[in-house]
Structure 1
Amino acid sequence: MYEERLARLPGALLWTRTDPLVPAAAPTRVLPDGCIDLIWVDGELMVAGPDTVAQLSPASPGRHYAGIRFRPGLGPEVFGVPAYELVNRRVPLAELWPAGRVRRLTGEVSAAHDRGHALERIAGDALAGREPDPLTRALAVDLRKGVSVADAAGAAGLSERQLLRRCRQAFGYGPKTLMRIIRFGRALDAARIGTPYATVAIENGYADQAHFARDVKALAGVSLRGLLTQEAG
């Protein structure tokens, strides 16, 4: 079972997941979304970096997860490392922060009644006294709107090469990859509520339905129909 709710921390979402009590259950397919997560699982704090393709998370009967997901660009400000170091990786928080500090925080989250709020406090403390980078926020907004790379660079006062470097630091990959992943997520949301696939493709900037289907297969690792069937089951 998966549930999510808005965090009080701007730009963050709290979520929980419990694996089904069924032996040999299918793994959970985690789709790329440009985000970085801080996750508590099995008494350990982990960081899930921004993905370029779907990741399969093996199921363990009854295993419980609690997480906080940071919008594209916010995670590096929380953890103090460039996003490109975390692409397609799952790393213990102790690899990024001092081990003693992580042991203390892990104990606090494990003992908390609401682990999501405990994770939120960790992120809030990490950001205390710091203002989010306005350039990163502006870039994320422009790229989500589908602004061209050249126009996004011009609006930020950067060359395209400088934009690429800033995007890799903030998001883990270049602007075109981030735009592709954002489009993928937006299109999937439309397909999930029953919008015809051809309409989804046209309204989200794909050349046609076949182009949309190829992109889903490349990013999710399964066909669009297969993905929606898995999610529904």
Structure 2
Amino acid sequence: MSGRYRQHDYAPGQALRCHWQYVQGPRAAPALVLPDACVDLLWDGARLSIAGPDRRAQYAHLAPGSRLQGLRFAPTAAARWLGVPLHALADQRVELRDLGVRHLARLADRMADREPGDAMAWLADRILGEGHRGDAMQAVHAQLSRAHPASIAQLAGELGITERTLLRRCDEAFGYGPKLLARILRLQRFLQARHHRATLLEAALDAGYYDAAQLAGDTRQLTGLTPTQLVARVAD
């Protein structure tokens, strides 16, 4: 195993999903980061960065023994908290100071002044204390999280907007459109389903794939791996 990962989940309905910590092992093996429709704040003890929504898998290169902490936002919460449309941050890792938002730059400065061990807990308390209100895009995320979600046309109709407007609002809230969001969420469902299904095909059908070929196409396009390779990497 290349590193150790721990996660503390927050109660549902809040602006943050979880606080996680990762410690790189003794070798500098790149860590696979899968697209998951999430946005994280990253703290390495000196810099506070934002990990934008990934459209495909990336590899994080960490020095042996290095430590990284993260706060993962709930759906739609990151765009509201940052005040930045997420499509501008897709596939990027950006220091908060570089976003050009004055209060975020000040927050990054205050993080650097705190003890490394409690800085991220302090930031989490600040974010959770600001509260979190639901919106229509959360409902879109919930719909597309289902194994057999509504079509894009149906989603737009339920919201009383055009498909073009739905695309724009998803770009702002999630970093990409509803079709890619649905594919990423389906891949994540597959990775969860593999734990309680005997075969990868059974897990794929549970997740909402039509067949093995559709699963293979998605994993190749989103991760560059075959389903078997992906499962092996995640289990490593």
- Same fold, TM exceeding 0.5? yes
Residue 88 (str. 1) matches residue 94 (str. 2): no
Q: In structure 2, how many angstroms separate the alpha carbons of the residues matched to 1:82 and 1:199?
A: 37
Q: Secondary structure at the match of 1:62?
A: coil
Residue 12 (str. 1) matches residue 13 (str. 2): no
Equivalent residue in structure 1 for 2:179, among 176, 181, 185? 176
Q: In structure 1, how many angstroms separate the alpha carbons of the residues matched to 2:106 and 2:155?
A: 41
Residue 31 (str. 1) matches residue 34 (str. 2): yes
Equivalent residue in structure 1 for 2:125, among 121, 126, 134? 121
Aligned to 1:144: 145
Residue 63 (str. 1) matches residue 66 (str. 2): yes
CA contact under 8 A between 2:111 and 2:119: conserved in structure 1? no
Q: In structure 2, how many angstroms separate the alpha carbons of the residues matched to 1:221 and 1:118?
A: 37
Residue 102 (str. 1) matches residue 146 (str. 2): no
- Cα gap change, 1:114 to 1:228, in 2 (>3 Å): farther
- Cα gap change, 1:175 to 1:6, in 2 (>3 Å): same
Q: Deviations over 1:38-92 (max 9, x none)?
A: 0101410010000110010013111101111112311111111011111000000
Q: Out of 97-106 and 69-78, give the one that drifted further.
A: 97-106
CA contact under 8 A between 2:15 and 2:127: conserved in structure 1? no
CA contact under 8 A between 1:183 and 1:204: conserved in structure 2? yes
TM-score under structure 2 length normalisation: 0.88
- Cα gap change, 1:194 to 1:58, in 2 (>3 Å): farther
Please list every run of 5 or more consecutive structure 2 residues that lacks an aligned counterpart in the other structure. none
* Structure 1 letter corresponding to 2:83: G
* Structure 1 letter corresponding to 2:127: A
Residue 187 (str. 1) matches residue 190 (str. 2): yes
Q: In structure 1, how many angstroms separate the alpha carbons of the residues matched to 2:61 and 2:89?
A: 20
Cα shift at 1:137: 1.7
Query: What number of residue pairs does the alignment pair up?
Result: 226
TM-score under structure 1 length normalisation: 0.89
* Structure 2 letter corresponding to 1:12: R
Q: In structure 2, how many angstroms separate the alpha carbons of the residues matched to 1:194 and 1:42?
A: 40
Q: In structure 1, how many angstroms separate the alpha carbons of the residues matched to 2:158 and 2:190?
A: 26
Please list every run of 5 or more consecutive structure 1 residues that lacks an aligned counterpart in the other structure. none
RMSD over aligned CA atoms reads 1.9
Q: In structure 1, how many angstroms separate the alpha carbons of the residues matched to 2:118 and 2:19?
A: 11
Q: In structure 2, how many angstroms separate the alpha carbons of the residues matched to 1:89 and 1:168?
A: 15
Q: Secondary structure at the match of 1:118?
A: helix
Aligned to 1:53: 56
Cα shift at 1:105: 2.5
Identity value in percent: 34
Q: Secondary structure at the match of 2:49?
A: strand
Q: In structure 1, how many angstroms separate the alpha carbons of the residues matched to 2:234 and 2:25?
A: 14
Q: In structure 1, how many angstroms separate the alpha carbons of the residues matched to 2:61 and 2:126?
A: 27
Cα shift at 1:107: 2.4
* Structure 1 letter corresponding to 2:75: P
Q: Deviations over 1:70-119 (max 9, x none)?
A: 123111111110111110000001122323442113323xx154444223
Q: In structure 2, how many angstroms separate the alpha carbons of the residues matched to 1:177 and 1:39?
A: 24
Q: In structure 2, how many angstroms separate the alpha carbons of the residues matched to 1:100 and 1:69?
A: 20
* Structure 1 letter corresponding to 2:212: Q
Aligned to 2:82: 79
Cα shift at 1:194: 4.7
